[in-house]
Structure 1
Amino acid sequence: MTLKEEFATRNFSIYAQWLGILSLILCLALGISNLFTVNILIIVFAALCIASGVVIIFIEVPLLMRICPTSASFDAAVRKITTNYMRAGAYGVMALLQYLSIIFGRTSLIAAAIFLTFTALCYLLAGVKGQAFVGSKTLGGAGVAQMIV
């Protein structure tokens, strides 16, 4: 299935997965750029943003769970985030953390919070509509990870 065919399925979990990849890029880029500030609390939220980006990598690209050496407890925690509702909740918590950074100063971390919110909403819509989670084949879902074993 090509990327165009995946988007044509109108499954919100596919849209959310790609929004998750955009959130990943924003979390890493904005987290790193906000590390170079004077406000120590903003630095803490920037580090949380980078950590969110790393977690998103493993949530959205299941192929990396087989390639990268991680601890058993981390693997177990990431494997629990499989349903649309669990993913919506995980993204919602990550978005909330970034929204809390506004308390200590207006920074570009708000952009990461907004994209994380959109991703959470798409996963929530997929869950409400009863759409099963469908992993993008482009990102290593639906059989690509099994080819490595």
Structure 2
Amino acid sequence: MGCFDEIKSRNFSLYGQWLGIASIILLIALGIVGLQSHIVFSIVGWVIAFILLMVEIPLCLKVCPTSPKFDGFIAYFENCYFRAVMYLIFAVVMFLSRLMNTGPLIAAAVCLLLAAISYGAAAVMGQSFASSRILGGTGVDNVV
């Protein structure tokens, strides 16, 4: 199954995963740009990006050596409800950066909010969690 088949599947958890990947890229890039204006939110953005990297890309857990305790923590987020809450919390943290006038991180906050909405929609609609096959996940073929 390719990228276009995943888009056509109308599985909102896949949309949330791709928005999460976009959030990771924005958090890293805009954290570098905003490093001069406010170092605290840039570092917080990088920490969030690292957490999302481990949660969203299953291939990272297969390649990187991790402890069973960390794997258990990541497995806790195989539920769309928990992912929606996690992304909503991260979005609120990044929106708080706007109060400190660190402008570029607002784009990452909006992307995090859209990912939270996507995961929330998947949870409300009762869709099973699926991860993109391109990123080392199961794809929607195995979702019942």
- TM-score, scaled relative to structure 2: 0.90
CA RMSD, Structure 1 to Structure 2 (Å):
1.4
Percentage of pairs with the same residue: 41
The aligned counterpart of 2:57 is 61
The aligned counterpart of 1:51 is 47
CA shift in 2, pair 1:47/1:73, >3 Å: farther
Q: Does 1:9 align with 2:9?
A: yes
Amino acid at match of 1:20: G
Would you say the 8 A contact 2:13–2:129 is kept in 1? yes
Q: Which runs of 5+ in 1 are unaligned?
A: 144-149
- Alpha-carbon distance in structure 2 between the residues aligned to 1:136 and 1:58: 14
Deviation per CA, 1:4-27, whole angstroms, max 9, x where unpaired?
Answer: 111111111111111111111001
The aligned counterpart of 2:107 is 111
The aligned counterpart of 2:117 is 121
SS of residue paired to 1:105: coil
Q: Which runs of 5+ in 2 are unaligned?
A: 140-144
Range with bigger deviation, 114-123 or 134-143: 134-143
- Alpha-carbon distance in structure 1 between the residues aligned to 2:135 and 2:51: 15
Would you say the 8 A contact 1:32–1:50 is kept in 2? no
- Alpha-carbon distance in structure 1 between the residues aligned to 2:107 and 2:130: 26
The aligned counterpart of 2:22 is 22
- Alpha-carbon distance in structure 2 between the residues aligned to 1:73 and 1:20: 23
How far has the Cα of 1:76 moved from its partner?
2.8
Would you say the 8 A contact 2:34–2:102 is kept in 1? no
How far has the Cα of 1:33 moved from its partner?
1.5
